[in-house]
Structure 1
Amino acid sequence: MRIALINEDSQADKNSLILKVLNEVADKYGNVVDNYGMYSEKDKHQINYIQVGILASIILETGMADFVVTGCGTGQGAMISCNAFKNVVCGYASTPLDAYLFSQINAGNAISIPYAQQFGWGSEVNLKMLFEHLFCQKFGGGYPKRFADEEKISRVKMYTDIKYCSQKDVVDALMSLNQEDLKELLDYTEFKNLFKQYAKKGKLTDYISDLLSV
């Protein structure tokens, strides 16, 4: 699994800590992490929690990653931003139990974590356990396991019968945004390098390539 890490501006100074802990767990399970920033609160290129969802949607839709790890001060804003997009199913996790149940029951493709609320002494331990319980088993295994089939049916109904019918196609949604603002969000070296390496051919990849002239 390829995992994308996205930090917004208010918690950007925790990026190196989060990356270190996430990499430790990812390596254990044969996963790879790409860091999309922000890398520090002093970065010239800014990403706010409202923009996290845009970036997550593009990364997932183009196949640049299979899963997004993000968050903000409370974790709520980034989660709402992500779920605004048709192709992102983002859960909220502040504890290892949250993460495990999300992976086994909801089996989404993004998680939002509170990086300010109750984040103090020993928080890196909780964060490592959270990532451990998020990635320790194949997603969608069910909890309790005997309910796995019923939970899968519920997920399909939620994602295809409701979410996919009620939200715009990703490209249409992005084209509805202010194009200068969208270009400014994506026009930074790290994103463009990862985009050129991992974005798969398709309508959205062509659209972003034209937008950024890459």
Structure 2
Amino acid sequence: MKIALMMENSQAGKNAVVLNELQQVVAPQGDTVFNVGMSDENDHHLTYIHLGIMASILVNSKAVDFVVTGCGTGQGAMMSLNIHPGVVCGYCLDPSDAFLFNQINNGNALSLAFAKGFGWGAELNVRYIFEKAFTTGERGQGYPVERVVPQQANAAILNDVKAAVVKENFLDTLKAIDPELVKTAVSGERFQQCFFENCQVAEIEDYVRTVLA
């Protein structure tokens, strides 16, 4: 699995801690982490709005399989990601949130609170969240297991409803966003390395190159 970690300006100082915990959890099973957001306060400036654009490009181009993100409360990042087609982002405060989101909702992104409640031992909570998110076996198996059939059906229906509400295809949606917002979102060196080396949709790559030109 290819996992993108992206953090915005208010919590960039915690990137090293979060990145380390994520890598320690997923590297042993062969997953790859791309640190595509801000790595410290002096890095390429991003807000939670940019995170949604970045996540949508990476997911819809199949450059990554999953996105880990967040902000101070985790709420803004979650809302920013969920407005985009193809992205299903859960809100995660503790390990049980991560497990239940994966088993019941089976989305492709998690938003964490990196300020609220992020005190002593916070790195342990982050580690346990990642363990439940990435090392508990097959996703979408329901909880409790006897509820798997209706839960899988409802998750699929929700995806269909979102696709009906967001009527434009992804590229049309991306082109409708202020190009300056998109340019800022895709200007980071590590984002570009992840995207251009792993993008599987030529039309999306062409548009990103046009924005950057």
TM-score by shorter chain over 0.5: yes
Aligned-pair distance for 1:158?
Answer: 0.6
SS at match of 1:209: helix
Contact 2:36/2:188 (CA < 8 Å) preserved in 1?
no
Contact 1:29/1:135 (CA < 8 Å) preserved in 2?
no
2:209 maps to which residue? 209
1:55 correspondence with 2:59: no
Q: 1:144 & 1:25 partners in 2: Cα distance?
A: 25
Q: 1:9 & 1:28 partners in 2: Cα distance?
A: 30
Q: 2:185 & 2:106 partners in 1: Cα distance?
A: 28
1:35 correspondence with 2:32: no
Aligned-pair distance for 1:144?
Answer: 0.8
Which stretches in structure 2 are left out of the alignment for 5+ residues?
A: none
1:122 correspondence with 2:117: no
Aligned-pair distance for 1:129?
Answer: 0.6
Tell which deviates more after alignment, 203-212 or 163-172.
203-212
Q: Which amino acid aligns with 1:180?
A: E
Q: 1:80 & 1:65 partners in 2: Cα distance?
A: 20
1:26 correspondence with 2:23: no
Q: 2:33 & 2:109 partners in 1: Cα distance?
A: 13
**1:87-126 equivalences in 2 (<5 Å):** 87-126=86-125
Contact 1:70/1:113 (CA < 8 Å) preserved in 2?
yes
Tell which deviates more after alignment, 191-200 or 55-64.
191-200
**1:129-208 equivalences in 2 (<5 Å):** 129-136=128-135, 137-160=137-160, 162-167=161-166, 168-208=168-208
SS at match of 1:126: helix
Aligned-pair distance for 1:57?
Answer: 0.2
Aligned-pair distance for 1:87?
Answer: 0.7
Q: 1:28 & 1:142 partners in 2: Cα distance?
A: 26
Identity of aligned residues (%): 40
SS at match of 2:118: coil
Q: 2:93 & 2:85 partners in 1: Cα distance?
A: 24
Q: Which amino acid aligns with 1:107?
A: N
SS at match of 1:164: helix
Aligned-pair distance for 1:145?
Answer: 1.2
Per the normalisation by structure 1, the TM-score is: 0.95
1:12 correspondence with 2:18: no
Q: Which amino acid aligns with 2:50?
A: Q
Q: 1:115 & 1:209 partners in 2: Cα distance?
A: 32
Deviations 1:180-210 (A, max 9, x none): 3311321222222222211113321222133
Which stretches in structure 1 are left out of the alignment for 5+ residues?
A: none
Q: 1:19 & 1:179 partners in 2: Cα distance?
A: 29
Q: 1:204 & 1:149 partners in 2: Cα distance?
A: 35
Aligned-pair distance for 1:138?
Answer: 1.7
Aligned-pair distance for 1:99?
Answer: 0.5
